[in-house]
Amino acid sequence: MIYVTGDIHGEIDIAKLDEERFPAQRSMTKEDYVIILGDFGFPWGGESEETDRQYLAWLDERPFTTLFIDGNHENFDLLYALPEEEWNGGRIHRVSKSVLHLCRGSVFTLQGKTFFAFGGARSTDRERRTPYVNWWPQEEPSKAEYQRGADALAAAGWKVDYVLTHAVPASLSPDWNKEPLSNYLETVKKKLRFTHWYFGHYHADVTFHPGPWWQARSRFGSFSCLYDALDKIE
């Protein structure tokens, strides 16, 4: 089983993964996955070190394995200080025993399906934040990460089952939130064959079903923005 959901923001929204709100976990194992679409928020460090430890231990105790792409609200210094590992065809940072960060620009194969992961986004409130305390410039991808994504998609023949991002392609992005990453994702959207594209960031649960006419004539798949919803995708 594979479920996907939206932003967690550290302890703020993590209750969506408790047994009461996510009872399906009772039939899951560590071979099953819950994917978070960015703004995971652990580890945050500093005064939150103890909270980080408690919640990561709590996630390790869940019956599933937690996977996340990064959003714009992550402590990238802590995240990128972890060693990278090869995992299911892509690159990860192991944050704890069963909490894994999916690196930008990787294609993973999970339960026979392929997933292109590309986290990151520009914070609209970055002017009011303090660099390296509660905001990190690595929230926006580097040239090397953009290239890694293009290389991984080329190796996959520009065809995957699912796309996992925090930001959205420019054609779906509101005018106030255009950024270099949205242009990159637009290029990916135009070239890539995919079934469904999941994104977070906008704190809403909305699915764009292009409809049967579109689906019969277009190679584009459909899109979901997720926040509280937990979508079962496999």
**What is the 3-state secondary structure of 142-178?**
CHHHHHHHHHHHHHCCCECCEEEECCCCHHHCCHHHC
Q: Smallest distance, Å, CB 140 to Fe ion?
A: 15
Q: Smallest distance, Å, CB 99 to Fe ion?
A: 18
13 binds Fe ion (CB under 5 A): no
Binding segment (CB under 5 A) for Fe ion, from list 6-14, 24-32, 154-162, 187-195: 6-14
* Interface size with Fe ion, residues (CB under 5 A): 2
**Do residues 196 and 227 make contact, with C-beta atoms less than 8 angstroms apart?**
no
Q: Smallest distance, Å, CB 200 to Fe ion?
A: 7
70 binds Fe ion (CB under 5 A): no
39 binds Fe ion (CB under 5 A): yes
Write out the two tokens for 207. Answer: 């699915």
Which residues, at least 6 apart from 35, have a Cβ–Cβ distance to it below 8 Å?
Answer: 2, 3, 4, 5, 67, 68, 69, 102, 115, 164, 198
Write out the two tokens for 184. Answer: 């990159």
Cα 9 to chain center, whole Å? 13
Binding segment (CB under 5 A) for Fe ion, from list 5-13, 15-23, 45-53, 108-116: 5-13
Closest CA to 59 of 77, 34, 79, 38: 34
Enumerate the β-bridge partners of residue 97. none
Closest CA to 72 of 11, 130, 120, 129: 120
Q: Which is nearer to Fe ion, 39 or 161 (CB)?
A: 39
Binding segment (CB under 5 A) for Fe ion, from list 2-10, 93-101, 103-111, 163-171: 2-10
7 binds Fe ion (CB under 5 A): yes
52 binds Fe ion (CB under 5 A): no
Q: Which is nearer to Fe ion, 39 or 145 (CB)?
A: 39
Binding segment (CB under 5 A) for Fe ion, from list 35-43, 53-61, 137-145, 160-168: 35-43
Residues contributing to the site for Fe ion (CB under 5 A): 7, 39
